[in-house]
Amino acid sequence: MIAELGIYFLILTLIFSSFGFSQPIFSIFNKKIIFFSQERLSTLIFIFTFLSFFCLTYSFTISDFSLKVVTNNSNTQLPLIYKITGVWGNHEGSILLWLLVMTFFGFLFSIQEINNKEIKTKTLYIQNSLIFLISLFIILTSNPFQRSFPPEIEGSDLNPLLQDPGLIIHPPLLYLGYVGFSIVYSISLAVLLFKINSNDFVKVLKPWVFASWTFLTLGIGLGSWWAYYELGWGGFWFWDPVENASLLPWLTASALLHTIIISEKRKLLLRWTLLLSIITFTLSLLGTFLVRSGVLISVHAFANDPSRGLFILLLLLLVVGTGLFFYVKSENFFPKRNQIHLISKEGAISLNNIFMLTLSFTILLGTIYPLFSSIIFNTKISVGAPFFNSILAPITLPLVIGMIFGPFLKWGNDDLINLVSRLKVLLFIFLFSALLIWYLNYRGPVLSIIFFIFSGLIITSSLFELTNFISLKPKIKFKKVPMKNISQLIAHIGIALLIIGATGTSVLKKEKIQFQDPNQVIPISKFEVKFMGVKNIEGPNYISEMGEFQIFKNGRFLKSLYPEKRFYNSSDQVTTEAAIYSTIIGDLYIAIGDKNLVDKDKSWTTRIWFNPFTIWIWIGILFLSFGGLISLIKSVRKK
Partner 1 sequence: MKAKTKRLLTLSSLMIIFVIGCIIVFYNLRGNLVFFYSPTELLEKKNINSQKIRLGGMVKKESVIKEMIVENNSKIQKITFVVTDFQNEIEVNYKGILPDLFKEEQGVVVEGIFKNNSFDAISVLAKHDENYMPPELNDIKLEKVKN
Which parts of this chain interact with partner 1 (CB under 8 A)?
159, 161, 231-233, 242, 297-301, 358, 362, 365-366, 369, 374, 379-384, 386-387, 390-391, 513-515, 571, 573-576, 591, 593-594, 596-598, 601, 603, 605, 607
- Which DSSP category does 406 fall into? G
Chain centroid offset of residue 318 CA: 24
Q: CB of 539 within 8 A of CB of 553?
A: no
Q: Which residue lies nearer to partner 1 by CB, 22 or 525?
A: 525
Q: Could you tell me the smallest distance in angstroms from the CB atom of residue 517 to partner 1?
A: 8
Q: Which residue lies nearer to partner 1 by CB, 112 or 603?
A: 603
Q: Rounded CA gap, 258 and 476, in Å?
A: 33
Based on C-alpha coordinates, what's the Rg of the chain? Answer: 27
Q: Which residue lies nearer to partner 1 by CB, 168 or 385?
A: 385
Q: Which residue lies nearer to partner 1 by CB, 4 or 601?
A: 601
Other CB atoms within 10 A of residue 27 CB: 13
Q: CB of 385 within 8 A of CB of 243?
A: no
Q: Could you tell me the smallest distance in angstroms from the CB atom of residue 596 to partner 1?
A: 6
Q: Could you tell me the smallest distance in angstroms from the CB atom of residue 13 to partner 1?
A: 29
Task: Residue 167: name the closest of 250, 237, 242, 83 by CA.
Answer: 83
Q: Rounded CA gap, 337 and 431, in Å?
A: 39
Q: Could you tell me the smallest distance in angstroms from the CB atom of residue 458 to partner 1?
A: 25
Q: Could you tell me the smallest distance in angstroms from the CB atom of residue 358 to partner 1?
A: 7
Give the residue ranges of DSSP H helices in 18-77: 19-29, 38-61, 68-73
Q: Which residue lies nearer to partner 1 by CB, 66 or 605?
A: 605
Q: Which residue lies nearer to partner 1 by CB, 380 or 475?
A: 380
Q: Rounded CA gap, 540 and 636, in Å?
A: 45
Q: Which residue lies nearer to partner 1 by CB, 397 or 585?
A: 397
Other CB atoms within 10 A of residue 74 CB: 29
Q: Rounded CA gap, 542 and 564, in Å?
A: 11
Q: Which residue lies nearer to partner 1 by CB, 115 or 390?
A: 390
- Which DSSP category does 341 fall into? -
In sequence order, the 6+-apart residues with CB closer than 8 A to the CB of 47 are none
Q: CB of 423 within 8 A of CB of 430?
A: no
Q: Find the helix or strand (DSSP H, E) in which 3 lies.
A: helix 2-17
- Which DSSP category does 41 fall into? H
Q: CB of 621 within 8 A of CB of 177?
A: no
Q: Could you tell me the smallest distance in angstroms from the CB atom of residue 399 to partner 1?
A: 15
Q: Could you tell me the smallest distance in angstroms from the CB atom of residue 605 to partner 1?
A: 5
Q: CB of 190 within 8 A of CB of 224?
A: no
Exposed/middle/buried for residue 341 (C-beta within 10 Å: 0-12, 13-18, 19+): middle
Beta bridge partners of 458: none
Reduced to 3 states (helix: H, G, I; strand: E, B; else coil), residue 589 is strand
Q: Could you tell me the smallest distance in angstroms from the CB atom of residue 637 to partner 1?
A: 40
Reduced to 3 states (helix: H, G, I; strand: E, B; else coil), residue 575 is strand
Q: Could you tell me the smallest distance in angstroms from the CB atom of residue 3 to partner 1?
A: 23
Q: Which residue lies nearer to partner 1 by CB, 300 or 526?
A: 300
Beta bridge partners of 579: 590
Q: Which residue lies nearer to partner 1 by CB, 208 or 289?
A: 289
622: left (phi over 0), alpha (psi -120 to 50) or beta: alpha
Q: Which residue lies nearer to partner 1 by CB, 20 or 144?
A: 144
Q: Could you tell me the smallest distance in angstroms from the CB atom of residue 595 to partner 1?
A: 10
Backbone angles phi and psi of 4, in degrees to 5 = -65, -40
Q: Could you tell me the smallest distance in angstroms from the CB atom of residue 481 to partner 1?
A: 38
Q: Which residue lies nearer to partner 1 by CB, 33 or 365?
A: 365
Q: Could you tell me the smallest distance in angstroms from the CB atom of residue 507 to partner 1?
A: 18
Q: Which amino acid type is present at position 142?
A: S
Q: Which amino acid type is present at position 537?
A: I
Q: Could you tell me the smallest distance in angstroms from the CB atom of residue 348 to partner 1?
A: 18
Q: Which residue lies nearer to partner 1 by CB, 303 or 584?
A: 303
Q: Rounded CA gap, 512 and 520, in Å?
A: 14
Q: Which residue lies nearer to partner 1 by CB, 169 or 299?
A: 299
Q: Could you tell me the smallest distance in angstroms from the CB atom of residue 393 to partner 1?
A: 11
Task: Residue 316: name the closest of 342, 340, 352, 281 by CA.
Answer: 281
Q: Could you tell me the smallest distance in angstroms from the CB atom of residue 163 to partner 1?
A: 13
Q: Could you check whether the bond before residue 386 is cis, i.e. omega within 30 degrees of 0?
A: no
Q: Which residue lies nearer to partner 1 by CB, 118 or 164?
A: 164
337-341 CB contacts, 8 Å cutoff, 24+ apart: 337/267, 337/268, 339/268, 340/268, 340/269, 341/412, 341/413, 341/414
Chain centroid offset of residue 131 CA: 22
